Amino acid sequence: MITRQDCLALDAQDRLAPLREWFDIPEGWIYLDGNSLGVLPRATPGRLQQLLREEWGRDLIRSWNSAGWIDLPRRVGDKIARLIGARAGEVVAADSTSVNLYKVLMAASHIMGQDHPQRRVILSERSNFPTDLYIAESLAHERGWRLELVEAEELPAALTEEVAVLLLTHVNYRTGHMHDMAALTRAAHAAGALVVWDLAHSAGAVPVDLHGADADFAVGCGYKYLNGGPGAPAFVWVHPRHVQRFWQPLAGWMGHAEPFRFSPSYEPAPGIARYLCGTPAVIAMSALECGVDTVLAAEPLGGMAALREKSIALTSLFAELVEARCAGHGLTVVSPREPEHRGSQVCLTRAEGGYAIVQALISRQVVGDFRAGDPRMPDILRFGFTPLYTRFVDVWDAVEQLVQVMDSGQWREARFHQRAAVT
């Protein structure tokens, strides 16, 4: 059985260990919730002070040119492109994941409306992240289409000749299950459908190769593994074969071919810039850039492949330790065992007390989160492992605290059962 000493040895050998220095992690805390909100990069406060005091405060409106504010969506997009198998000029950072999803679903639905008007179904997974389903539901309503939800294993059979768009999140937010992007994209294309991938739990967490998978559209989140800060701008990618075909409906001035011509009629910019809408969120986008830079800092150390290797080691270790040391406490690992089917998180379930166990862990400075189940899905205790800043000893210490919470029955205390507004 692995010991705490072994974990310390693993950390000492870890060539990615220096990346932890890129972050300000609160002393004494073990933070396993980077899949919900990444930690603060050390560079961000200084960068924002410079932005506020010099670029905004001192240089004011000139900074649109002199500080390159106007290029931020493309500059940050190009950086994100390096993490997801896209090329420079194919990604922009903008708006929220939900808004970007609307843009690409509209584009996909219009392309299919032209090419295959009899296809009017968006197919997705019932356990997809709700906002993805809401946006798809709204769009289906708007266009007289239908949203069909199935379980993951039913997807191949559900790819009928009615399906226009397959909409999937690459790594499931609840279970950490990771789809085979290349295989599902192939299956969808073979069935005549387009594919939209939500990379919210993938970008910066697992290697993604959008061109390798021949994907059609992708969106993703800036505040999880990209460490862009709470509510950071999101990103959007469209395959070059589609990008010129449609004028997405959020046709704001920043997506215009010449925004500063102030022409009264819309002419979409060539390429991905037409997926921009309003004025770029300069402050938020600058924080996002600092976050993306923390992931790019891994490039000289092996990049996403090296991060993935460490992530698998961390998640495997956590699952093994929980099973070995919490046996008899009714905790079950619900994330896939096979690393190739698992993102950078491990989820547990328990018939009762999941919320309180997470709260008891937080009281011991170990942060995960809880997602309530329903008749169809079990409660989830969710633990994310960001390889940029999570150490092997953190995994050991987190499990040690879990063992103590369970062995002592501490989680039964009333104080751990009070629900907060945001869970």
- Residues with active-site annotation: 129, 198, 223-224, 382
Q: Residue from 244, 279, 404, 408 that binds its own copies (CB under 8 A)?
A: 279
For its own copies, the binding residues in 369-408 under the rule CB under 8 A are 369, 371-372
Neighbours of 61 (CB within 10 A): 9
Q: Residue from 1, 61, 305, 414 that binds its own copies (CB under 8 A)?
A: 61
Q: Which two tokens stand for residue 339?
A: 């690393």
Q: How far is the CB of 60 from its own copies (least distance, A)?
A: 6
Residue 407 CB partners (closer than 8 Å, separation 6+): 329
* Residue of 191, 249, 239 whose CA lies nearest to 213: 239
44 belongs to the binding site for its own copies (CB under 8 A): yes
Q: Residue from 8, 12, 15, 45 that binds its own copies (CB under 8 A)?
A: 45
* Residue of 217, 351, 314 whose CA lies nearest to 272: 217
Instruction: State the Cα–Cα distance between residues 397 and 342, nearest whole angstrom.
Output: 22
Instruction: State the Cα–Cα distance between residues 373 and 364, nearest whole angstrom.
Output: 24
**x/- map, 207-226, its own copies, by CB under 8 A:** ----------------x---
Q: Which is nearer to its own copies, 314 or 358 (CB)?
A: 358
- Helix, strand, coil percentages in the chain from 3-state DSSP, rounded to 5: 45, 15, 40
99 belongs to the binding site for its own copies (CB under 8 A): yes
Stretch that binds its own copies, among 59-67, 160-168, 295-303, 304-312 (CB under 8 A): 59-67
Q: How far is the CB of 13 from its own copies (least distance, A)?
A: 28
100 in Cβ contact with 275 (< 8 Å)? yes
For its own copies, the binding residues in 296-355 under the rule CB under 8 A are none
Q: Residue from 15, 53, 412, 417 that binds its own copies (CB under 8 A)?
A: 53
For its own copies, the binding residues in 224-253 under the rule CB under 8 A are 229-234, 247, 249-253
Q: Residue from 122, 205, 285, 295 that binds its own copies (CB under 8 A)?
A: 285
Can you list the alpha helix ranges (DSSP code H) found in 14-164? 44-50, 63-66, 72-81, 97-115, 130-143, 155-158
- Strands 366-367 and 30-31, by their bridges, are parallel
Q: Which is nearer to its own copies, 133 or 381 (CB)?
A: 133
Q: How far is the CB of 76 from its own copies (least distance, A)?
A: 13
**x/- map, 170-199, its own copies, by CB under 8 A:** ------------------------------
283 belongs to the binding site for its own copies (CB under 8 A): yes
264 belongs to the binding site for its own copies (CB under 8 A): yes
Q: How far is the CB of 95 from its own copies (least distance, A)?
A: 7
Instruction: State the Cα–Cα distance between residues 199 and 169, nearest whole angstrom.
Output: 6
140 in Cβ contact with 147 (< 8 Å)? yes
For its own copies, the binding residues in 138-167 under the rule CB under 8 A are 138-139, 141-142, 149
Q: Which is nearer to its own copies, 4 or 126 (CB)?
A: 126
SS3 (DSSP) at 169:
strand
Got the DSSP string for 350-372?
Answer: -SS-HHHHHHHHHHTTEE-EEE-
β partners of residue 149 = 124
Q: How far is the CB of 284 from its own copies (least distance, A)?
A: 4
Backbone angles phi, psi at 29, to 5 degrees: -95, 145
